[in-house]
Amino acid sequence: MRNPFLAEFKTPHQSAPFKAIKTEHYIPAIEQGIKTALQEIEALLSQKEAPTFANTLEKLEDCGKQIGRTSSLLFNLNSAETSKSLQQITQQAAPLLTQFQNDIRLNTRLFERIEAVYQNEDRSKLTAEQITLLEKEYKSFVRNGAKLPASSKEKLRAIDTELAQLSLRFGEHVLADTQAFQLHLDNKADLKGLPPTLIEAAAQEAKSRKLKGWVFTLDYPSYVPFMTYAENRDLRKKMSLAFGQRGFQDNAQNNSAIILSIVKLRKARAELLGYDSHAAFVLEERMAQTEDQVAAFLNDLAAKAKPAAKKEWDTLQDFARHNLGLEKLEKWDTAYASEKLKQHILDLDEQELKPYFPLDYVLQGLFTIVGKLYGLHFRKTDEVDPYHPEVTVFEVYKDEAFYALLYTDFFPRAGKRSGAWMTSYKSQSKTARPHISIVCNFSRPTASQPALLTFQEVTTLFHEFGHALHGILANTTYSSLSGTSVCWDFVELPSQIMENWCYQPDALSLFAKHYKTGAALPPEMIEKIKKTAYFQQGMQTLRQLSFGYLDLSYHTKKADQIQAVKAHEREQISELQFTEEAKENCVSTAFSHIFQGGYAAGYYSYKWAEVLDADAFELFLEKGLFDSQTATSFLENILSKGGTEHPMILYKRFRGKAPDPAALLRRAGLI
């Protein structure tokens, strides 16, 4: 069997040959990649010369490129284009890769060389990036057990292997429950209030499932507008409960036991390494630094947001009672009632905006904006294999030189997890340009019209594109410090700052045009969009804070005392919620960010980064939306630098000062 992973990719830009890759290629490639990498490590250790940065750290940086390439493709596809067979392969691969990582991090001889460089190398002869790499590698070894006795190292190996498998299983369960549900309607009266575009998409979905009528799913482009516009309250309740039951049903996909196992294992791992909690372990290497600082940050925001949120809730309740006949708002009413209130206050119906945001126009407008800011140009190519027929690939150029590949994947389908994310198939280094992917779940085009985005989907696209820019514009020497390889509470700055352009008339004029007439979005609608940025910001802030508190609670020193997921969740976030919780529902069992993704003890970073982006964008507002000097500074000090220096150093270099926390409150209208 010819295995494409075991040879150089002789493709345009050495891109992944997706059409040639089969599931049976992965495990042999991973096994061979591990063998090759361990041989490279042994060669590094067999050197007779005394350890130096060049013969130890730089050589280690170059080890394992084959295994890195294979594993990144496997795990990326397991999120964007999975199948039962690929999930099985991923479960097989996880313990192999975990053991491999531990074989490196727990290698005593390797650590001794790194420690020798760490203690003896003349730092005056190293660049700032080299010093960062040295310190990062040394800390990484220590923080992953290099100094532990042999018996503890074996315990660490067992914990890491189990955690890797549990995390994968958690995500598989959420995906399975999401795809298992459908709301099949055959009575036209049940569609009252729903936008024609959603009805058409639901009819198309029903037809694809060989059903008559309309089918609505838990995928965001179906679920969110249904909850926002459906007048049938019983059906809203049915959809809401189904969404909240993911991972919490009496079936094989229940994630409650997995969560308890994960939090106890994370706590045990942290204690093994000398920390009180997983949060203490994680936050040591974040801008926030300590659990107390995170708690203080969340508490301060909560104290400022609660009064505003309470006023907003009272207004919503009064409106629903007097205008919608809803005496008591339930969780399945809030999106519906909020949309009606927004229409009443702002005279703005989100559905009126959608014709002005066809996906192709928005994407081209986004290309234009980043072209103005950073000098990038995007050219669609058919020469590079996509991993699915709906994926489009762009070559990215800067100053006429090839700079990156960009894969765009916009629509939900079976085998694709919900949400939106950016990822990398190939990271940037001194000798390689990156291959970046953005994955979303937007409303599909229908037989009568192109894909039309809600304004929230527009901001989502800009957000993920900000992450993509962090990867595309990376310009570091070492791939392990490139792009989004930064402190986790800094990683959202490039993404969240991009959302600001969605509210600016000069930016909207570049892409907000009616898909039929080409007419620009009217100025009065732009003003209404700007006002939506302040709509229910108190309630929105509390919602995000509730996730931050919940995440932190699973990773404190008391995490292993949690007995029941649902009861614990209720205790943590009930004071931040205005509707009664549904006994059938649980947030935690589908909280993929912290139990499948990388946000464990880090969900607070969304609000943390909002402080950074609000403060940073004030400089663009002061100097000009497309001011070249400001954009160049953001590129040179933030986007291109990755994790080569501490984020606060990079931020101050761009902004000239530390971030002002009040900037977020000013933008949100909370002060």
Just list the catalytic residues: 464
Q: Which residue type is seen at 84?
A: K
The whole-angstrom separation of Cα 381 and Cα 354 is 28
Work out the end-to-end distance of the chain between its first and last CA atoms, rounded to an integer number of angstroms.
65
The whole-angstrom separation of Cα 467 and Cα 94 is 26
Q: Hey, how many other C-beta atoms are within 10 angstroms of the C-beta on 574?
A: 11
- Whether 642 contacts 485, CB under 8 Å: yes
What strands lie across the sheet with 376-381, from one edge to the other? Answer: 376-381, 392-398, 401-409, 435-439, 421-426
Token pair 């290309």 is found at 367
Which residues, other chains included, contact 54 with Cβ-Cβ below 8 Å and sequence gap of 6+? none
Phi, psi at residue 576, to the nearest 5°?
A: -100, 5
Residue 216, beta-bridge partner list: 183
Q: Hey, how many other C-beta atoms are within 10 angstroms of the C-beta on 274?
A: 12
The whole-angstrom separation of Cα 112 and Cα 191 is 68
- Give the residue from 313, 255, 334, 317 showing the smallest Cα distance to 585: 255
SS3 357: coil
- Give the residue from 178, 162, 173 showing the smallest Cα distance to 256: 173
Residue 162 vs residues 264, 265, 313: alpha-carbon distances, Å:
11, 8, 43
Q: Burial level of 414, CB count in 10 A (0-12/13-18/19+)?
A: exposed
Q: Hey, how many other C-beta atoms are within 10 angstroms of the C-beta on 344?
A: 11
Q: Which residue type is seen at 378?
A: F
